[in-house]
Amino acid sequence: MSNEEVVMINKKKLEEQLDNIKKDPTYIDGFIALMTRSWGGDIEDNIEAIKGAISLIHKEEGKKAYIELLMLQAKYYFVLGKYSQGIEGLLDGVQILQEPKNEVEKHQLIQLQNMLLVGFTKKEEFALAIEYGLQGLEKAEALARPEIKVKLLLSILDLYIAIKAYKKAEFILQNIVAIDYILMDTTKLYIEIAWLKLFLCQKQFELAAEYSKRAYDLAKKNEEQYALELIQILSLRAKLNVSRELYAQAEKDFKDIKERIKKIRFKEIEEQSLFEWAKYDKKQGRMNEAIQKLKKIIEEQDESLIYVKESYKLLSEIYEETNEWQDAYRYLRKYEKSKENILDENVHKYFDKLNQINMTKEIEKYKLLYQDMQVLAQIGVALTEHLKPTVLNNKIYKQLSKLFKMDLFSILILDQEVPRYILVDHKGDIVKERKELIRNTEYLAEYCTKERIDISVSNGDFEAYHIKEIGEAEELQLQSVLFTPLIINDKAIGAVGIGSYKVNIFNSNDLNSLRVIASYLAITIQNTTLYHQAEYLGMHDSLTGLLNRGALLKQGEILFKKNHKQHKSTVVMMLDTDYFKQVNDRYGHQLGDEVLKKIGKILKKVVRKQDYVGRYGGEEFLVILDDLSEKEVVKVCQRIKKALSESCFETKKDTKIKVTVSGGFYICNEYTLNFSDAIQFADHALYRAKLLGRNRMISYCLGENES
């Protein structure tokens, strides 16, 4: 925002301004100055007024004013979160200034490129953001105007933070501070906010608190001028206070933001504040409130998907905590899909034109970041598709070798029933024979996971980890390793590592890239876990853990068809808990649930692995037995009755009760046409068992004979 006083303009005054321009085209400069300071009125009205002014100006004759208006229009669109519309005008401006004729036009072109960098960063179209950042840096270097370079570097810094390249962001900030240039108050404020964001992202909360105070104090000196920045600072401070468990201060900040947003609209900061408030609600156990806020962000999403994407992830975590696995999996898939689009692989066409440009050392580093991002994108896509050894030692390893000069790659996953450790060699093959190498690298992975720290060794000295050397032969002894933990919901569930037989191979950039890969892996593991949980719940009864009706009928149909073709028998057994309603009414539903769970366990125990047991509905169970004779079925019935007769259930009054079941079964034969008929026959036998006094098993074929 401008250093001048902020003003509010109503629609009538805007119309007057446009009339003045029609009468006297030179009035356009006054209109631009006025619009630059107008952030408190209706933003849509301001945009319409700017469009009106643009229509009154000739592109070539009033080029300077025309470009200024395009940039003003883009700023307003950005505030509303309408980045594409703002970018459209900026690209028009770049086209007009393809060959700048003087210093003013060169300056304007850099401003346009800077705004395009900002717009494409917000849209997470990082390839295009980098393109315009590179072009702007090149021109800023040539122009030798430090104030222009500082603005551009601040935008590049935001890009680095967006892609979590925090060390590079810190390097940029240090460069800005070192530039021999008297900083204006606005620039000082932006630098303080940048430090606040950076330290907050890196969880350096004490430093973040210091810069939060400095930024807040600077903004409060001119509250009207820095209205937008103040809301941003409050949002960051609220996030900081939640992280430091200063909940009362956080709630105060959230309420302050809510009131300020009523007066001035800024879509991105509104979403940011709402998202941080939802995170705070989650921490306080207010899950429904958090869900409402997150769904509001998703429903009212703008073109910047930053908080929409994070809302998907947070919703997945909330539903996971409340054991709503299907919703958890659904939102995790949405998050995963949105993340796949962040680092788009198909961006070569936007970068080819820059290959011939002679860059400074600083710009070359920026270019390398882009190339690393392309490789990380390819790895991310491959990892989010599968998590199998065959993928790791083929597709993934091939991509990783473009990123790291490594001889080994490994993954440890502990968040499974059986821990898995996979070590892949330089040929992309899984290492199986080299026991010492496997044992020691697995130990390092476990240490990294347990301590939740990165491990970096560059000279073959593993004494700190109580290992002398890693490798059997001297030429195959590991010299350099990097390990970083896999974190899901603040829990370390494994580690990923790379290794080399050469000294001093890896650097801090390699560690940052490995952390990005670890984040992809963590998402994939969580995705796989939630998928299996959702799949399990879709097939199983939540009370007894047995197959539910749908899954049971599906498996029964498959078994029936297979056995029918092979002339084998399929046995369908229907069971009903005797007097279950009386148990519920007299002793309560809690005891009723325990009875059903116990019957389920007994049924599961007495049948074989190839048989199926499920809860058919209410107090009814269905058992499907594979290829048994009548005598064998009778023995199964007897085992069920015996196990139940030996089971007692304690009531709240410390008395013990016994429960029985009635059952009917049918043995399918060559004349049984379909599975549904078999169920009907078994149900008919069950009905007769009840008529005969309950606590008995009846065969449909045996008539009145009991089992």
Distance CA 193, CA 232 (A): 9
The burial of 625, by beta-carbon neighbours within 10 Å (0-12 exposed, 13-18 middle, 19 or more buried), is given as: buried
Give the chain's domains with CATH numbers: 386-537 (3.30.450.40), 540-699 (3.30.70.270)
For residue 372, name the pLDDT band (cuts at 50, 70, 90).
Answer: low
Residue position matching structure tokens 């004729």? 101
Q: In the numeric block, which tokens belong to residue 572? A: 């369908």
Over residues 150-172, the pLDDT tens digits come to 888 889 888 888 878 888 888 88
Distance CA 446, CA 483 (A): 10
How many C-alpha atoms does 464 have within 13 Å on its Cβ side?
Answer: 10
Q: In the numeric block, which tokens belong to residue 644? A: 């139940």
pLDDT at 385 over 60: no
* Interior angle at CA 637, CA 615 and CA 587, nearest 5: 50
Distance CA 125, CA 146 (A): 27
Distance CA 596, CA 124 (A): 52
Q: Write 369-373 long-range contacts (CB < 8 A, 24+).
A: 369/130, 369/165, 369/168, 370/127, 370/130, 372/403, 372/509, 372/513, 373/126, 373/163, 373/343
pLDDT of residue 174: 82
R_g (Cα) of the chain, nearest Å: 34
Question: Which positions ≥6 away from 371 have C-beta within 8 Å?
Answer: none
* CB 74, CB 89: distance < 8 Å: yes
Closest C-alpha to 421, from 379, 451, 455, 392: 392
Distance CA 54, CA 31 (A): 11
End-to-end CA, the chain: 87
Closest C-alpha to 603, from 568, 566, 644, 571: 644
Mean pLDDT across the stretch 78-95? 88
Q: In the numeric block, which tokens belong to residue 686? A: 């069950």
Distance CA 689, CA 667 (A): 16
Distance CA 141, CA 148 (A): 9
Over residues 262-314, the pLDDT tens digits come to 776 667 777 877 888 888 888 888 999 999 989 988 887 655 567 788 888 88
pLDDT of residue 339: 60
Q: Where are the alpha helices (DSSP H) in 341-459?
A: 348-351, 361-385, 389-391, 397-403, 435-451
**Which amino acid is it at 644?**
L
Q: In the numeric block, which tokens belong to residue 651? A: 């009531």
- The chain-wide mean pLDDT, for the chain, equals 81
Distance CA 706, CA 691 (A): 13
Across-strand partners of 662?
576
Over residues 62-86, the pLDDT tens digits come to 788 889 989 989 988 888 888 888 9
pLDDT of residue 703: 43
* Interior angle at CA 378, CA 374 and CA 383, nearest 5: 140
pLDDT at 662 over 50: yes
Distance CA 498, CA 408 (A): 6
Closest C-alpha to 232, from 246, 217, 255, 216: 216
24 compared with 432, residue with greater pLDDT: 432
Distance CA 45, CA 76 (A): 10
Distance CA 67, CA 112 (A): 9
Distance CA 285, CA 289 (A): 9
The burial of 463, by beta-carbon neighbours within 10 Å (0-12 exposed, 13-18 middle, 19 or more buried), is given as: exposed
Distance CA 694, CA 574 (A): 13
pLDDT of residue 601: 94
pLDDT of residue 620: 96
What does each C-alpha distance from 491 to 203, 451, 495, 613 come to in angstroms?
16, 11, 12, 36
What does each C-alpha distance from 305 to 201, 226, 258, 302 come to in angstroms?
18, 25, 21, 7
What does each C-alpha distance from 247 to 242, 254, 275, 311, 321 come to in angstroms?
6, 10, 16, 21, 21
Three-state secondary structure call for residue 284: coil
184 compared with 707, residue with greater pLDDT: 184
For residue 350, name the pLDDT band (cuts at 50, 70, 90).
Answer: very low
* CB 679, CB 581: distance < 8 Å: no
* CB 280, CB 250: distance < 8 Å: yes
Mean pLDDT across the stretch 354-373? 43
Distance CA 521, CA 483 (A): 13
pLDDT at 580 over 90: yes
CB atoms within 10 A of CB 393: 20
Question: Which positions ≥6 away from 520 have C-beta within 8 Å?
Answer: 379, 380, 383, 384
pLDDT at 359 over 50: no
pLDDT of residue 604: 94
pLDDT at 362 over 80: no
The burial of 518, by beta-carbon neighbours within 10 Å (0-12 exposed, 13-18 middle, 19 or more buried), is given as: buried
One-character DSSP codes across 325-368: HHHHHHHHHHHHHHHHTTS-S--HHHHGGGTTS---HHHHHHHH
Number of H helices, E strands in the chain: 28, 12
pLDDT at 481 over 70: yes
Distance CA 78, CA 67 (A): 16
For residue 3, name the pLDDT band (cuts at 50, 70, 90).
Answer: very low
353 compared with 686, residue with greater pLDDT: 686
Least confident of 91-95, 338-342, 357-361, 499-503: 357-361
Mean pLDDT across the stretch 372-399? 52
pLDDT of residue 582: 93
Kind plus residue range of the DSSP H or E element containing 626: strand 620-626
* CB 458, CB 480: distance < 8 Å: yes
How many C-alpha atoms does 696 have within 13 Å on its Cβ side?
Answer: 15
pLDDT of residue 396: 65
pLDDT at 368 over 60: no
Distance CA 510, CA 482 (A): 8
